[in-house]
Structures are given as structure tokens and as C-alpha cells.
Structure 1
């Protein structure tokens, strides 16, 4: 089994090469609202599928 990765939505507010800090903050907030609306608590474990790279 692979190591558990942490997905911190707030880090999007720092921006990425194709995402401005303002847009990153907006999509982080949207993600947080969606998780709250579905009654997920902080620290919930989610299964994320697909390709990604971590630094």
C-alpha cells in the first residue's frame, strides 16, 4: 500500500503556473464548500484516482 498523501486545498491560494493565487483561493473555497455540504469533517480520508505528481 502506498503512503497516504495530504491534499491541502488552502495551498491552491499560493497559485500554480496556470492558476493565479486569486483563482486558486476561489477554487479552494469552492472545494471546501462542497466537502462541507456533503457533511465531511476535517481530516476525512478520500480516495482520489488518476495521475498526479507530488513534490
Structure 2
């Protein structure tokens, strides 16, 4: 399973990408971030596969 953190300042963009990724069995979105600071903090805490 690939654990993904989505980071984009547009909520609608994150929702669209998450919708696409949620359809894939081997991908799991573990968190979303609206800015760089939140993304770095989430990466440190959640350790997604791709950050």
C-alpha cells in the first residue's frame, strides 16, 4: 500500500485528486495539507510513502 500526503492550497483541487486516488486499491491518502508548513508537519508525523 502506498501512503500519500496531498498538499495544495486549493481545497477543490485536493478533493479532486483525492477522489481519483481513492479509486485505486493500492493507494491510500493519509492526510491533506493546505500549505507547506502543514505538509511538512504531516510528513514528520505520518511518514507517508511519498512526501
State the TM-score, normalizing by the size of structure 2. Answer: 0.34
So what's the TM-score if we normalise by structure 1? 0.32
More strand by share: 2
Bigger radius of gyration: 1
